[in-house]
Amino acid sequence: MAFVSKGRISLGQTGEKLARKLLEQQGYKIKESNYKVKLGEIDIIAEHNGDLVFIEVKTRSGIGFGTPAEAVTLRKQHQIIKVAQYYLAQKKCFDMSSRFDVVSVLIGKNGKPIIEVIENAFEQN
């Protein structure tokens, strides 16, 4: 198991809180936060403009290792898709259109966040 410092957990939690606030301001209706099953986790599940939206939030304190959105690798996308499929089956939401969004949160040294919502960031293959 990888070691995760308290600072990273706190940064991630801060990013998710900021993301939820912005998403709600943009009309997203949050249905679930930190939806966890054996297959993995989805940070936020919401409804927006008639779509069921599965949202991955990535938070960084700098871009030395790439932007937050770049951290949503193909492998991570596949994991999110599997969890989303499980959710759709569990909730019997097959008639609803769905999409995958990414929220990129960059919190620099000045503490002011830069938040970007990327709609349809990736697709289910």
Number of domains in the chain: 1
State how far the Cα of 57 lies from the Cα of 31, in Å rounded to an integer.
15
Q: Give residue 7's pLDDT.
A: 56
Expressed as residue numbers, the domain containing 21 is: 6-122
Instruction: Report which of 77, 124, 101, 112 is spatially closest to residue 26, judged by C-alpha positions.
Output: 101
Q: Give residue 5's pLDDT.
A: 45
State how far the Cα of 93 lies from the Cα of 110, in Å rounded to an integer.
42
Place of tokens 């019997």: 92
State how far the Cα of 83 lies from the Cα of 111, in Å rounded to an integer.
33
**pLDDT: which is higher, 77 or 108:** 77
Question: Is 20 domain-assigned?
Answer: yes
Indicate the length of the chain as a whole number.
125
Question: Is 64 domain-assigned?
Answer: yes
Q: What CATH number is associated with residue 88?
A: 3.40.1350.10
Question: Is 1 domain-assigned?
Answer: no
pLDDT digits (tens, 9 = 90+) for 34-82: 999 999 999 999 999 999 999 999 999 999 989 999 999 999 999 999 9
